[in-house]
Structure 1
Amino acid sequence: MPTAAKLIAALCLAILAYGVSELIKTQMPASTAFGVFSIVNAVIGFVCGWAVIGTRAGRGLSAAVSNGFTGTVAMVFWALFAQGTYEMFQRSMDHQYDGVVEAIAAIFELCIKFGENLVNGPVIVSLLVGALVTGYISEIASRHWR
């Protein structure tokens, strides 16, 4: 059932995902073709905000902080998984894998490789602050609009 807290959490996490995606783009080589990278991550952020944070809103401020972190971690996990899977499919079209098992294992290797781009100061600070703000705003929305 749609609620204001779900919508607010979804919008906040989508904005966070888009912003962090744009921040990551600045750290990559100029020749990197990103396509719809930021938009896909924003959609994943919207879904995680709706399903993870929005459904748990209304349990107090301490739970809001936890909900924000949980939703952000879920968003990062699913975004890395989606980008790793997409990259694996691109590589498999070039016949870089000998079999299905090797291709599936490559998804997780690519997730780790892409996750290394998240380990720097501005990205970590953005994710942490975004998690706190998203959890807090969704809690406020849950209190004001029932």
Structure 2
Amino acid sequence: MISSNKLVAASCLAIIGGLVAEFVKPQMPEGSNFGHMTLISAGVGLVVGWRVMGKRAGRSGSLELGLVGVAAMVFWGLVLFGLIEMFRLAMRRRLDEPVEAMERAVTVALEYGVYLLHPNVLITLAVGAVISGIFTNFAARNWG
């Protein structure tokens, strides 16, 4: 069911996801093909904001809510990008076995996770967590 807290949480995390994707791009090796990285990251933020933060709004503190939402967005974003790379390699027949494919997905997710350790990205995630938690709880208390 649509509620104001879900809409606010989804919007906040979609914006954060898109910003983080844009801040990660300069950290990646030259010649990297970003594809739809920003849109995918914003989509992950949208879904996580709706499903995770939106449901918890009003029941926990703003900081906790924002940190849980951003952590879930980062986790699922890394998982999704690892799986996308795994399928890309599998379609090119570069992977021989399913175990090798899963290892590659985890490796790519961890490599992308290292790019998130840049100070600009960390600051964006931290500030975004606080702001999205405050906005989402505000929406839940006043409009929900």
TM-score (norm 2): 0.95
* Matched residue SS, 1:26: helix
CA distance in 2 between counterparts of 1:18 and 1:103 reads: 27
Identity score, percent:
39
2:9 aligns with 9
* Matched residue SS, 2:33: coil
**Offset at 1:94?**
2.5
**Offset at 1:105?**
1.8
**Offset at 1:26?**
2.0
1:127 aligns with 125
Cα RMSD, aligned residues only: 1.2
Q: Does 1:87 align with 2:55?
A: no
* Counterpart residue type for residue 126 of structure 2: L
* Counterpart residue type for residue 131 of structure 1: A
CA distance in 1 between counterparts of 2:15 and 2:78 reads: 17
Spell out, residue by residue over 1:108-135, the C-alpha distance to the aligned partner (whole angstroms, 9 max, x if none).
1111111111111111111011001000
CA distance in 1 between counterparts of 2:80 and 2:140 reads: 30
CA distance in 2 between counterparts of 1:30 and 1:100 reads: 29
What is the aligned length?
144
Structure 1 segments (4+ residues) deviating >3 Å? none
CA distance in 1 between counterparts of 2:39 and 2:46 reads: 10
* Matched residue SS, 2:27: coil
Task: Rate the CA distance shift 1:30–1:102 in 2: closer, same or farther, 3 A.
Answer: closer
Alignment of 1:12-31 (within 5 A): 12-31=12-31
CA distance in 2 between counterparts of 1:108 and 1:27 reads: 19
* Matched residue SS, 1:119: coil
CA distance in 2 between counterparts of 1:25 and 1:113 reads: 13
Spell out, residue by residue over 1:19-75, the C-alpha distance to the aligned partner (whole angstroms, 9 max, x if none).
010111122234211111110110110011111111111135xx2211110110110
Alignment of 1:1-146 (within 5 A): 1-59=1-59, 63-146=61-144
